[in-house]
A and B are shown apart, each in its own frame.
Chain A
Amino acid sequence: MPLITRLFIKSGLIFFFISLLIGIAAQIQSLYFPAIIPLFWHTLMVGWITQIIMGVSMWMFPGRKKEESFQNQKWGWITYVFLNTGLALRVIVEPFVNVSGPEFWKMLLVISAVFQFVAVCSYVIEIWPRVMSPKQRIKKKRAAS
């Protein structure tokens, strides 16, 4: 399993645990904080499920270059860094954001949104050409050799 996939899965497991902690907090009145419900759902659906889908598909889909280098996996690395930074930033910042609040937190929330957008775009760039039939795969292999 390539390093990037291991990182995706392990980061996903951490977000999975965080999402459940947030879920527990949401059930306890004294631990409740603003934006807790969207944070629960997004750490679960983006941090865990989407992240594990991305990591495993980068490993298992056809057309993966065996040699692990940044050049060969650049879209994967961009996805990993921006997705995790973007989501972590959201978890930290969103409870402090409200319409009349300081501009600093709002700016960070916008940055987290943009980071997640960049992550998903780079994932699509990486995986779209790898969704191929066996014939296309053979053709691509022949062209590469």
Chain B
Amino acid sequence: MTIISRLMIRLSLVYLLIGLSIGVLLLINKAWLISPLLWFLLPIHIEFMIFGWIIQFTLGVAYWILPRVLETKGRGNVKLAWLMLASVNTGIILVTISGYFPGNNFGFAGRILETLAVLLFIALHWKRVVTYNRS
């Protein structure tokens, strides 16, 4: 498992733990009202669980497990892979904080970075979606 996959998978596990802890608090808050203010954490729960956990985990595993590029036997441009990792995580953080600072463009910038990460993922993996069977 490459360093990039390891980092993405471990970060996704961290997002899972944080996102789930918020979800647990919200569920308990439904039963025993701790504070109505806890509902302000809902956007963090959603962003961390969908982008931080599920999407980042699948991107990290795909980067590790898909067939390597036939010509070079590698996983493509490593700098682009690092950029993918950085942009998806910066995007998640920007989208998460955007709701708490009204009147900024953090949410927009965050979604742009997440889109960039997906484009980089596609660029890195397009040629890796192949069969080794030449017959």
Q: How far is the CB of B127 from chain A (nearest CB, A)?
A: 23
> A134 touching B1 by the CB < 8 A rule?
yes
Which range contains the number of A residues in contact with the other chain? 20 to 34
Q: Please give me the residue from chain A that is nearest to B26 by CB atom.
A: A113
Contact mask B22-45 → A, CB, 8 Å, 1/0?
A: 011001101111000000000000
Is residue B9 within 8 Å, beta carbon to beta carbon, of the partner chain?
yes
> A116 touching B20 by the CB < 8 A rule?
yes
> B6 touching A117 by the CB < 8 A rule?
no
Q: Tell me the number of A-to-B contacts counted with CB atoms below 8 Å.
A: 64
Is residue A124 within 8 Å, beta carbon to beta carbon, of the partner chain?
yes
In the complex, chain B residues whose CB is within 8 Å of the CB of A128: 10, 13
Q: How far is the CB of A77 from chain B (nearest CB, A)?
A: 19
A133 vs B58: C-alpha distance when bound (angstroms): 18
> B2 touching A133 by the CB < 8 A rule?
yes
Q: How far is the CB of A136 from chain B (nearest CB, A)?
A: 9
Is residue A110 within 8 Å, beta carbon to beta carbon, of the partner chain?
yes
Q: How far is the CB of B79 from chain A (nearest CB, A)?
A: 19
Q: How far is the CB of B57 from chain A (nearest CB, A)?
A: 6
In the complex, chain A residues whose CB is within 8 Å of the CB of B31: 97, 105-107, 109-110, 113
In the complex, chain A residues whose CB is within 8 Å of the CB of B20: 116-117, 120
Interface centre among A45, A110, A127, A131 (most CB of B within 10 A): A131
> B50 touching A45 by the CB < 8 A rule?
yes
Contact mask B4-24 → A, CB, 8 Å, 1/0?
A: 001001100100110011011
Q: How far is the CB of A55 from chain B (nearest CB, A)?
A: 13
Q: Is the interface of B mostly helix, strand, loop or mixed?
A: helix
Is residue A88 within 8 Å, beta carbon to beta carbon, of the partner chain?
no
> B28 touching A131 by the CB < 8 A rule?
no
Q: How far is the CB of B21 from chain A (nearest CB, A)?
A: 7
In the complex, chain B residues whose CB is within 8 Å of the CB of A99: 33
A26 vs B48: C-alpha distance when bound (angstroms): 25
Chain B positions near chain A (C-beta within 8 angstroms) = 1-3, 6, 9-10, 13, 16-17, 20-21, 23-24, 27-28, 30-33, 49-50, 53-54, 57-58, 61, 65
A-B contact pairs, 19 of them (CB 8 A): A53-B54, A60-B65, A62-B1, A90-B27, A97-B31, A106-B31, A106-B32, A110-B27, A110-B28, A112-B27, A113-B28, A116-B23, A116-B24, A117-B21, A117-B24, A120-B20, A128-B10, A131-B1, A131-B6
Chain A positions near chain B (C-beta within 8 angstroms) = 45, 49-50, 53, 57, 60, 62, 90, 94, 97, 99, 105-107, 109-110, 112-114, 116-117, 120-121, 124, 127-128, 131-134
